[in-house]
């Protein structure tokens, strides 16, 4: 079964990283884009509709047989990859196909997003989307209406629960 892995790229550099990986490693990549409405800073400006990465700073790359993952993470625009026990964490092609279908259906577009209450659990993976930036993190503490979330194993943020959703689409993808 084909697998993908998740590279951590500098925010806003998903396209550049994907182009570089295709050109130098013939790697197939995927970074889902969703429709976002950018509101003007002044009352006179018009709203602008743009395509923005669903997971800003992350890029799915199809597995490359016999490829040195350390070298791949050293390409321009990439600063690491998500791991599980110091090995690149695989994501099945089935999960990527489901994600593609949901993105194409507009499920993650800004105007379709509705606040849904969730029962979060400690150490659960969550997608944080407070506005223009989307991150993936792990819950390290649950407060009354906020979550303390660790991102990239280094930075910790306190985020309102309304800005978080379970990242179950990425968890247990090895099944």
Cα 149 to the center of its chain, rounded Å: 15
Domain residue extents for the chain: 3-110, 117-166
pLDDT at 175: 44
| Other Cβ atoms closer than 10 A to 147 | 24
Distances (CA, A) of 138 to 24, 79, 99, 166, 167: 33, 19, 20, 10, 9
pLDDT at 44: 67
Query: What is the reported pTM?
Result: 0.59
Per-residue pLDDT tens for 85-134? 777 778 888 889 998 998 998 887 765 333 344 577 888 888 887 666 77
CATH topology of domain 117-166: SH3 type barrels. (2.30.30)
Helix (H, G, I), strand (E, B) or coil at 24: helix
Distances (CA, A) of 143 to 17, 52, 112, 161, 168: 37, 30, 27, 9, 21
From 11, 6, 39, select the one nearest 110 (Cα to Cα): 39
From 35, 16, 19, select the one nearest 107 (Cα to Cα): 35
Per-residue pLDDT tens for 150-162? 887 778 878 877 7
CATH topology of domain 3-110: Alpha-Beta Plaits (3.30.70)
Please check the confidence at residue 5 and state whether its pLDDT lies above 90: no
């Amino acid at each position: 079964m084909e697998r993908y892995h998740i590279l951590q790229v500098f925010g806003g550099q998903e396209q550049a990283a994907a182009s570089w990986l295709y050109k130098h490693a013939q790697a197939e990549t995927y970074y889902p884009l969703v429709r976002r409405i950018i509101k003007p800073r002044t009352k006179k400006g018009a709203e602008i509709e743009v395509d923005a990465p669903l997971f800003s700073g992350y890029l799915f790359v199809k597995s490359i047989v016999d490829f040195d993952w350390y070298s791949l993470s050293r390409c321009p625009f990439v600063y690491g990859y998500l791991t599980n026990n110091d090995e690149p964490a695989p994501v099945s092609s089935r999960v990527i196909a489901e994600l593609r279908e949901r993105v194409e259906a507009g499920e993650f577009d800004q105007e379709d997003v509705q606040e849904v209450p969730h029962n979060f659990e400690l150490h659960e993976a969550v997608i944080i989307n407070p506005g223009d930036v989307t991150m993936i993190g792990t819950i390290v503490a649950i407060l009354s209406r906020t979550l303390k979330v660790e991102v990239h194993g280094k930075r910790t943020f306190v985020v309102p629960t309304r800005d978080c959703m379970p990242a179950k689409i990425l968890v247990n993808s090895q099944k």
